[in-house]
Amino acid sequence: MRCAAAIEARQVNELAINVDPIQAGGRLTADAMKAVIAYGDGYSVCDNCRKPNRLDYIAKPPIAGFHKDLAAWLNMDAVRTVPGARRAFQAVAQTYVTKGDPVLLTSLSHYTEFLAVEEAGGIVREIPANPENIVTPDAAAAKAEEVKRDCGRAPVLAIIDHVDYQYGNMHDVKAIAKVLHQYDIPVLYNGAYTVGILPVDGKALGVDFVAGSGHKSMAAPAPSGVLAATAEREKEVFRTTSIFGDVTGRKFGIKEPAMMGCTLMGATLIGLMASFPRVKERVKHFDRELANNKIVLDALLSVTGTRVLSEMPRKHTLTRVDTTQSFDKVAQVHKKKGFFFSSALEEKGIVGIIPGASRVWKFNTYGTTEAQAKYLAQAFVDIARENNLPVT
Ligand SMILES: *Cc1c(COP(=O)(O)O)cnc(C)c1O
């Protein structure tokens, strides 16, 4: 099957169980797929755009209502859709960071946070994670003090990942935000792995901003994401334009410069909206996801030598394991080297683990059914047995 001459139809999630860490939470719902087809045309959401001519005011389809619902769901005061969590970081960084300003990230931060700071001219100071790969409030306070000493002023912004992409560990953003607010540092909660996966309450967390990723965690097409703000910060990050042309004197009303006027259009936005009812429901059942993750992880750990590098017990389904003393022993002598592992999995209809990786790798069971989790568990055990690894 082909979309066009050189473009094959993609059937990954139809033909296999996909445990790719970054893809698990972004798989579209059937409703989002319909939205992609119906709203794929360019400015399709603009049919009924009326004054004051901004995306988040459009009533048909119900984009304005969606913005209200989304803000309420995150327990924040204002929200905009953006092309990915990274664009949320960028909008916030552009608002608070000027040349040479120190910004707090962590030693587990995603690269897009670094780029957002770089583009705004800031410098990055990382809060180091502890030996268990957890970022603590004490470490945040110590780093804020260190920055004050070195730079003569506090950091102008902090971006803290609730669940980091490396270990899938959960960090106490609430306590970290409390500490950083003592230095008047605005805190952006990076929910790329949590918004749309588990319940997120911005007010309870006490953060200034919540960023989420539509295509990673909200069953939405790429590029999509959300940026939510408190009433206090809303005026700053969602400020309206004041520029005008010198010849025409034109002004641009309520367009927001940090959002470049209108943000998500067409299939991305309507896909995000179409999945939203299902996403709101699924966050209430994250316990089931953790149970499925445990089924798979227990099986992996039954293969002698396998270690979990993520915190235990697991608080998120993204998990990092070390199989240097198990599956990699097979890779050492196998003609396919490390690729034996991914190809053995693929033969069993399992994809998403980096081809060639047999030492340290990540998987994400999010969205699997219990039957699929059991199948995954059995597959890992079977691959171990087929290759004469001891299983307890
Ligand atoms: C994936 C990820 C991002 C980037 O999200 P986009 O929506 O693709 O911009 C940012 N931070 C973390 C922690 C991530 O895992």
Mean pLDDT of 341-367: 97
Dist. CA 84 → ligand 1 center (Å): 7
Q: Using 50, 70 and 90 to split pLDDT, how confident is the model at 1?
A: confident
Domains of the chain, by residue range, sit at 2-24+284-386, 25-283
Cα–Cα distance measured from residue 368 to residue 375, given in angstroms and rounded to the nearest whole number: 10
| Among 256, 198, 197, CA closest to 67 | 256
Q: May I ask the CATH class of domain 25-283?
A: alpha beta
The span from the CA of 231 to the CA of 122, in Å, is 25
2-24+284-386 — its CATH code?
3.90.1150.10
Q: What is the pLDDT of residue 15?
A: 96
2-24+284-386 and 25-283 share one fold = no
- Residue 363 tokens, joined: 């998987």
Residue 18's pLDDT band, with cuts at 50, 70 and 90, is: very high
Amino acid (one-letter) located at 199: P
Please give the model's pTM, rounded to 2 decimal places: 0.97
Distance CA 299, CA 378 (A): 7
- Each residue of 71-112: pLDDT tens digit? 999 999 999 999 999 999 999 999 999 999 999 999 999 999
- In angstroms, the CA 325 to CA 31 distance is 44
CA torsion 297-225-191-69 (nearest 10°) is: -110
In short, whether 166's Cβ falls inside 6 Å of ligand 1 is no
**pLDDT tens-digit map of 145-185:** 999 999 999 999 999 999 999 999 999 999 999 999 999 99
pLDDT at 295 exceeding the cut of 90: yes
Atom from ligand 1 closest to the CA of residue 109: 13
Whole-number pLDDT of residue 358: 95
Q: Is 90 exceeded by the pLDDT of residue 305?
A: yes
Q: Which amino acid type is present at position 306?
A: T
Cis peptide before 137 (omega within 30 of 0): no
Looking at the CA of residue 22, tell me the nearest atom of ligand 1.
1
Residue whose tokens read 């969606």: 66
Give the neighbor-by-neighbor strand order of the sheet with 123-127.
Answer: 78-82, 225-229, 209-213, 187-190, 157-161, 102-106, 123-127
**Amino acid residing at 16:** A
Nearest Cα residue to atom 1 of ligand 1: 192
